[in-house]
Chain A
Amino acid sequence: MRVALFVTCINDTLRPGTGRAVVTLLERLGVDVDFPAEQSCCGQPQFNTGYRHATEPLVRRFDRAFRDYDYVVTPSGSCAAMVRDNYPRIAARAAAEGRGRELTEAAARAVPKTYELTEFLVDVLKVTDVGAYYPHTVTYHPTCHGLRVLGLGDRPRRLLERVRGLTLKELPGAEECCGFGGTFAVKNPAVSTAMGADKVRAVTGTGAEAVCTVDNSCLLHIGGMLARQGSPVRPVHLAEILASTEADTAAGGAAGRAAGAEGDAR
Chain B
Amino acid sequence: MSRSFLGMPAFPRAAAVSTRDPRLRANLAHATHTIRDKRARAVAELDDWAQLRAAGAAVKDRTLRHLDHYLEQLEESVAAAGGHVHWAADADEANRIVTRLVRETGEREVVKVKSMATQEIGLNEALAEAGIRAYETDLAELIVQLGDDLPSHILVPAIHRNRGEIRDIFRREMGKWGRPAPEGLSDSPAELAEAARLHLREKFLTAKVGISGANFMVAETGTLVVVESEGNGRMCLTLPETLISVVGIEKTVPTWQDLEVFLQLLPRSSTAERMNPYTTTWTGTTDGDGPRAFHLVLLDNGRTDTLADTVGRQALRCIRCSACLNVCPVYERAGGHAYGSPYPGPIGAILTPQLRGMAGPLEESLPYASSLCGACYEVCPVAIDIPEVLVHLRERVVEGGPVTRRGARVVLKPAKGHAAERAAMRAAAWTFDHPGVLRGGMRLAARTRRLHPRRLPGPGRAWSDTRALPTVPAESFRDWWRRTRGDAGGSETGGVK
Contacts and interface: CB of A to CB of B under 8 A. Distances in A.
B19 interface: yes
Contact of B399 (A53, A186, A197): A53
B476 A50 contact: no
B258 interface: no
A166 interface: no
A4 B393 CA distance: 35
A131 B494 CA distance: 37
Contacts of B12: 187-191
B375 A148 contact: yes
A183 B462 CA distance: 10
Nearest to B422: A51
B369 A188 contact: yes
A263 B442 CA distance: 13
A126 interface: no
Contact of A50 (B391, B429, B465): B391
Nearest to A57: B433
Interface string A16-33: 110110000000000000
A195 interface: yes
Contacts of B367: 50
- The DSSP consensus for interface residues of chain B is helix
Interface residues of A, number: 76
Given A148-B373, A148-B377, A190-B16, A12 B476 contact: yes
Contact of A144 (B373, B388, B460, B492): B373
Contacts of A148: 373-375, 377-378
Interface stretch (B142-150, B293-301, B326-334): B326-334
A167 interface: no
Nearest to A55: B429
A257 to B, nearest CB: 11
Q: How large is the interface on B (under 10, 10 to 19, 20 to 34, 35 or more residues)?
A: 35 or more
Contacts of B16: 189-190
B172 interface: no
A154 interface: no
Interface string A177-189: 1011111111111
Given A37-B489, A50-B395, A144-B373, A189 B442 contact: no
A206 interface: no
Given A52-B395, A220-B470, A36 B428 contact: no
Contact of A48 (B372, B421, B462): B372
A41 interface: yes
Contacts of B391: 47-48, 50, 52
Contacts of A188: 11-12, 15, 330, 368-369
A176 interface: yes
A193 interface: yes
Contacts of A34: 489-490
Interface in B351-402: 367-375, 377-378, 388, 391, 393-399
A61 B334 CA distance: 39
Given A37-B482, A38-B491, A186-B459, 6 more contacts: A51-B426, A58-B429, A177-B373, A179-B371, A191-B334, A263-B471
Q: Give the top 7 A-B pairs by smallest Cβ distance, nearest first.
A: A181-B371, A50-B394, A224-B467, A36-B490, A177-B373, A16-B477, A227-B468
Interface of B: 11-12, 15-16, 19-20, 25, 329-330, 333-334, 367-375, 377-378, 388, 391, 393-399, 421-422, 425-426, 428-429, 432-433, 435, 438, 442, 445, 454, 459-460, 462-463, 465-478, 480-482, 485, 487, 489-494
